[in-house]
Structure 1
Amino acid sequence: MELLQLILGYPKESEGDEDSTELEVSTDSPDIYRKSSIPTPYDVTIRINSLVALSTSGWEIVLGNSASEIQSNSSIPKDNRGVIVAVLGSYNRGKSFLLNELCGLNLPSGNLIHTEGISITAGRKQAENIVFIDTAGTDTAIQKDKLDDRKATEALIREIVLHLCSFIIIVVNRLRATDQSYIQQVLMHSKTSESKTNIIIVHNLLDVETVQDVETIIKNEVEFLFDAKPDNMKLKMNQDSTDVSFFHSTNNGVDIRHFIFTKNGTDAAKMWNSQSIDGIMNILQTATDARRNLKVITEMINFVNAKLPQLFTNTHDDNSSENNQKRLQIQMHVRKPFIVLSHRKDMENLEHDPYPLSLSPKLLYDDAGYFIGISSMDNGEWKPLYNLYETEDEILAIVELAGFKQGDTRVGVGEESITIEGQRVNFKESLSNPTAHQEKIPMGKFKLEIPFKCRIDQDRVTLEYNEGLYKFTIPKKKATVKYL
C-alpha cells in the first residue's frame, strides 16, 4: 500500500456493519479524486472550509499535482505508523515558508494565497515517514453572516489537529499579544489532550537581517518572555558532527523547544536557518515514541463523529435524538471524493435536498476564540471549572459554581473520586422576549467527576461554601498492614 493510499484509503466495510464509517476508496481511478485546478505542491487537501457545508456537498478531498511523488510502500513502516506534524499559526506568519524549508518544496506563500482547511504533505526527501499538516491561517476576512460558521470551523480544525498530531510547530514573527495568547491556548489544550503532544515554536524573523538584531530579539522575546535557556544538540552528518543551537523553555509542565529563522539571503540566515532546519528534522526523525496511525482521514472522521452531535442543534422534522445522532455522522461518499453526512453517502446530486443544520448556541470558546469547549458539554451537559492541589496527607479541590448555594447540588464521595451534579436555571426564563448579544455562562444540567490517583478517606471529606466556590478538603486514606 502506498503512503498516499494509507492517508486516503479505508478498509472495506464488514458485511452487516451498517454503521461503519470506513469505506473502500480506490485511488487508482482518475475519476475518484480531482486534481487541484491550481498548481499546489500539497499532496492532499481536505477542504474543511465550513461546518454548515455538511448540509449539502460536505468537504471535498483534492489531490495535489505532485501527489504521485509520495514515496511508495518501501518506506512505510509495517505497523503503518509515522510522525504526524501540524504547522500552526495566525495568517501570514510564514507557515508555508517553513514547510518549504522542511520538505524542500515550493508551497505558495504571500498575502493573497492561503491554505484551505487541512492540507497534507507527506513522504518527501529525508522525511519518508513524516506527514506534515498545514491549516488555514486565522484572522482572514469573512462575510459577516458567516462569522459564526468560520469560528466554529476553525476551532474544530484545531481540535482535529491536536488529536491527530504528535508534534505541533507554532510559527510566529516578532511576538504580538495575539501570538502570545494563541501559544497559551495551544499549550493549555495540548496539555489536556489524551495523548502527549510535543511543542516547537519557530520564531520566523522574516524582516530581520543582521546577526546583532537577531541576538537582541532573542534576548528580549525568547529568553525574557519565555524564560528560555540556550541549548544545543549534536548531529552526525556523514563523518562529521555539528552543533545545533536552539532554546528550551517550560510552561506549566510543557516542554517547548524554540528555533530561530531570519530573512533568507542575509548573514543572520546563514547563521540560523540551515542549522534550525537540521535540528527540527532530527527531532522529528528520531521521535520513535511519537509515531501515530498514518490513516489520517480515517482517524479524522472517527474523531469528528464524536463531536458533531454537540456542534449542531436538531432542526429536522424527525426529533428522535437517536435518529439525529445517526444523521450527524460523516463518512466518505461511495463514489465521490467528498466527506459527507452518512445518510447522504450514495446521493448522486449532493446539492439536492439539503439537510437542515444549525450551529448550537451552546458552543463555548476560550478567550482567544480558537478552541471549542465542546468537551465540557458531553451528552448536553456542561462541566464547571476546578483547581486541584495535593499535599502529602490530603487533596484540596476548589470548584467554581457561581450562583449555587448549599443544597442546590448533589455531591457524591467515592473511594477514589468525588462527583457533583446540579442544574443552573437559564437566566432568560425570567425575561420577556430578550435579545441575547452574548451568552458565555453555561446553563442547564451539569455533572463533574474529579478522579484521584489514590484512595481517600470518605468519612472525613469536608465541604465549605464560599462566594461561589465549593472547597473540598479530602484526606488521603492511609495504607494499613494486616499481620497474620
Structure 2
Amino acid sequence: MALPNILIDAGVLVRKLIPNRFTKVSGPTLYDVVLRIDSLESLSTTGWEIMLGPRANDAQPQIPNKNDISGVVVTIIGSYNRGKTFLLNTLFNIELSSGNLVHTEGLSITAGRNDADHIVFIDTAGSDTAIIEDKLDCRKATEALLKETALNLCTFAIIVVNRLRASDQSYIRQVLTHPEVSKPSKRVYIVHNLMDVEAVEDAEKVIDTEVKSIFKAELKKFKVGMGPNATDVNYYHSTNRGKDIRHFIFAKSNTPAAAVWNQQSIIGIMNSLTVATELRRNLDIVNEAMQFINTKLPQLFATTHNQDNSVRDNSEQQLQVVKHATKPFIVLSDRKELENLDENPHELELSPTLLYDARYFLGINSMDSGKWQPNYNLYETDEEIIAIVELSGFQRSDAHVCIIEEAIVIEGWRTDLKQSIPNAITDCSNIPFDHFKLQIPLKCKIDCAKTKMECDNGFYKIACPKKKYTTVLLE
C-alpha cells in the first residue's frame, strides 16, 4: 500500500507507470525511491535527481485513493558506519550482504513489505570519505539539512549505535533535545547493534555496562500474538528528558547471542511500528521533504549578486525547490522549465553565519525565522504548562514575548559580544548573537490572559494555565 503512494508522490505513477525516465539505483539495494541530495551546490545547476529502486517496476499502474493511504514514517539515524542499512536488511529479512549494499547519498526511502506495508523507512546514508577543504562547509550544511529533514518527516526515530562511545552519547543527546524529537507525538528507539559480540554472556556484560548502567534502562517484556503462537519480546526501557525510549539488542549474525536477541528484537520493533495506528499519517514523503527544505533554504544561503552586480537577497527572494517540469529532478523554481540544466547556473553562496553543534544538528534548525534560537524546557502539570527559556545576558526589554492559545513566541536580539572588546581577534565563538525568534508549540490551548512570566538569573519562566471549558445545556 505504501509503495504506490510514494511513487505517486515522486511523480512515477500518474495515470500509468512511467519509471523509464527515471535513473535506476544500480546494484543490490533495499531502497525504492532515492532523493539524491548529494550537495547543496547542485541546486545551482542540475539540482537533485529522483532515482528508483528495482521494485518500482512491480508497482500497480493505478492510482490508489490517497485518502485511504496512511502509515508511520521511520527515520533510521546514527553516526557513519554504525549499521543503519544492516538494520533495514534485517528488519525486511532480505538476504543481501550489507557490505555490498548501495549507499546513495541523500534521502533513501523504503516502503514496507507484506504485513509491514503501512511502514515507510527513511535512511540518510552518506559518506565519510575525505573531501577537499573548500567543499567541507557545503558537505556539513548538506548533512545537517538531511538530518533535519529526516527528523521532521518521521513518526519514529531509530538511533543505531554499536558498542557505545562518547560520540554516540553526544549524538543521542542532540537527537533527544532536538525540537522535532521533543514533540509528544515522536517515538524514539535505540538499537544496540553489537556486531562484534557472539557469546550470550558477553552480550549480557555489554547490556549491564552500557544499556542498564549508562541509560538506567530496565528490562521490560510485552507479548506479541495470541494463544499458543504468542511470543514474548524482551526489550529495555529508559527515560531521558521526559521521553520514553525503547532499547533493542542485536548481536553478530549466526551466533549464540544473535539466537537469543535478534529475532525477538525484529519482532518487537516491527510489531511496535505496525500497531501504532494512532500515529499513522499521509505518506506524501517527497512533497513534504521539499516543503520542509523550502523553509530552510533562505537561511542556508547568503546574499549573492546578479550578473549586473545588483544585490540578490536570497531571504527576500524566497528560494524554493520544485519538481522539474519534464525531468526526474528537484530543482530551484526558476529552473523548472529549463531543458539544459547545466546552462545559466543560479549563483548561490552558503551563509557564513551557519551554526552547528558537534554532530551537525541544531545549526540549521536554530535559524527558523531568525539567526538562532535559545534553549528551553517545557513542563506540564494538571493545571498549567510551564516553559523555562534560557536567555542569559538579556535585559527584559531585549526580548518580546507573545502568548497565543497554542504557542509561545519569543523574539529578540543579542548584540555581538565582541563589540565590547576593542581590537579583539576572535579565536573561538560559540555564543550566538543577532536576531532570534523562538516559537514553542503547546499541546493544548491555554488561557492567555492568566499567563504569568518572571525572569531570574537569565531564565524566563512562563506559566500558562490550561484553558478550561464549560458545558452549557440548552433546553
Alignment correspondent of 2:265: 276
The one of 73, 85, 104 equivalent to 1:96 is 85
Q: Tell me the amino acid that sits aligned with residue 398 of structure 2.
A: T
Map residues 90-129 of structure 1 onto 2, 5 A cutoff.
Answer: 90-107=79-96, 109-110=98-99, 114-129=103-118
The one of 49, 63, 84 equivalent to 2:52 is 63
Q: Tell me the amino acid that sits aligned with residue 351 of structure 1.
A: D
SS in 2 for 1:87: strand
Structure 2 gaps of 5+ residues are 471-475
C-alpha RMSD of the superposition? 3.8
The one of 28, 32, 54 equivalent to 2:21 is 32
Return the alpha-carbon distance in structure 1 between the equivalents of residues 81 and 193 of structure 2: 11
- Greater shift in the superposed pair: 317-326 or 122-131: 317-326
Alignment correspondent of 1:300: 289
Alignment correspondent of 1:7: 6
SS in 2 for 1:220: helix
Q: Tell me the amino acid that sits aligned with residue 217 of structure 1.
A: V
Return the alpha-carbon distance in structure 1 between the equivalents of residues 346 and 205 of structure 2: 56
Return the alpha-carbon distance in structure 2 between the equivalents of residues 478 and 212 of structure 1: 54
Return the alpha-carbon distance in structure 1 between the equivalents of residues 33 and 138 of structure 2: 23
Cα–Cα, structure 1 residues 149 and 26, in superposed 2: closer, same or farther, change >3 Å? farther
SS in 2 for 1:255: strand
- 1:148 aligns to 2:140 (yes or no): no
Kept in 2: contact 1:42–1:107 (CA 8 A):
no
Kept in 2: contact 1:32–1:335 (CA 8 A):
no
Q: Tell me the amino acid that sits aligned with residue 385 of structure 1.
A: N
Cα–Cα, structure 1 residues 403 and 188, in superposed 2: closer, same or farther, change >3 Å? closer
Kept in 1: contact 2:388–2:461 (CA 8 A):
yes
Kept in 2: contact 1:423–1:446 (CA 8 A):
yes
- Greater shift in the superposed pair: 131-140 or 55-64: 131-140
Q: Tell me the amino acid that sits aligned with residue 317 of structure 2.
A: Q
Alignment correspondent of 1:332: 323
Report the Cα offset of residue 272 of structure 1. Answer: 1.4
Alignment correspondent of 1:380: 370
SS in 1 for 2:302: strand
Map residues 335-374 of structure 1 onto 2, 5 A cutoff.
Answer: 335-366=326-357, 368-374=358-364
SS in 2 for 1:207: coil
- 1:441 aligns to 2:440 (yes or no): no
Return the alpha-carbon distance in structure 1 between the equivalents of residues 267 and 328 of structure 2: 36
Map residues 285-324 of structure 1 onto 2, 5 A cutoff.
Answer: 285-317=274-306, 319=311, 321=313, 324=316
Report the Cα offset of residue 310 of structure 1. Answer: 1.4
Cα–Cα, structure 1 residues 183 and 422, in superposed 2: closer, same or farther, change >3 Å? closer
Kept in 1: contact 2:193–2:249 (CA 8 A):
yes
Report the Cα offset of residue 332 of structure 1. Answer: 0.8
Aligned residue pairs, count = 463
Report the Cα offset of residue 341 of structure 1. Answer: 0.5
Return the alpha-carbon distance in structure 1 between the equivalents of residues 463 and 157 of structure 2: 37
The one of 147, 157, 164 equivalent to 2:146 is 157
Kept in 1: contact 2:112–2:121 (CA 8 A):
no
Percent identity of paired positions between Structure 1 and Structure 2? 52
Report the Cα offset of residue 454 of structure 1. Answer: 4.6
Cα–Cα, structure 1 residues 190 and 323, in superposed 2: closer, same or farther, change >3 Å? closer
Return the alpha-carbon distance in structure 2 between the equivalents of residues 128 and 476 of structure 1: 42
Return the alpha-carbon distance in structure 2 between the equivalents of residues 450 and 41 of structure 1: 37
Q: Tell me the amino acid that sits aligned with residue 5 of structure 2.
A: L
Q: Tell me the amino acid that sits aligned with residue 288 of structure 1.
A: T
Q: Tell me the amino acid that sits aligned with residue 358 of structure 1.
A: E
Report the Cα offset of residue 371 of structure 1. Answer: 1.3
CA deviation string 1:57-96 (max 9, x = no partner):
1111111233334578799885221122122122221112
Kept in 1: contact 2:2–2:120 (CA 8 A):
no
Return the alpha-carbon distance in structure 1 between the equivalents of residues 111 and 385 of structure 2: 47
Q: Tell me the amino acid that sits aligned with residue 80 of structure 1.
A: I
Kept in 2: contact 1:420–1:448 (CA 8 A):
yes
Return the alpha-carbon distance in structure 2 between the equivalents of residues 10 and 159 of structure 1: 20
Return the alpha-carbon distance in structure 2 between the equivalents of residues 71 and 220 of structure 1: 49
Kept in 1: contact 2:378–2:386 (CA 8 A):
yes
Return the alpha-carbon distance in structure 1 between the equivalents of residues 364 and 21 of structure 2: 34
Alignment correspondent of 1:15: none
SS in 2 for 1:97: helix
Return the alpha-carbon distance in structure 2 between the equivalents of residues 460 and 256 of structure 1: 33
SS in 1 for 2:167: helix
Kept in 2: contact 1:120–1:134 (CA 8 A):
yes
SS in 2 for 1:9: helix
Q: Tell me the amino acid that sits aligned with residue 280 of structure 1.
A: I
Cα–Cα, structure 1 residues 444 and 65, in superposed 2: closer, same or farther, change >3 Å? same
Structure 1 gaps of 5+ residues are 12-21
Return the alpha-carbon distance in structure 2 between the equivalents of residues 63 and 475 of structure 1: 49
Kept in 2: contact 1:45–1:61 (CA 8 A):
yes
The one of 204, 209, 220 equivalent to 2:198 is 209
Return the alpha-carbon distance in structure 2 between the equivalents of residues 323 and 144 of structure 1: 27
Return the alpha-carbon distance in structure 2 between the equivalents of residues 345 and 325 of structure 1: 16
Kept in 1: contact 2:149–2:293 (CA 8 A):
yes
Return the alpha-carbon distance in structure 2 between the equivalents of residues 245 and 395 of structure 1: 35
- Greater shift in the superposed pair: 453-462 or 347-356: 453-462
Map residues 202-241 of structure 1 onto 2, 5 A cutoff.
Answer: 202-236=191-225, 240-241=229-230
* TM-score, structure 2 as length reference: 0.84
Report the Cα offset of residue 167 of structure 1. Answer: 1.3
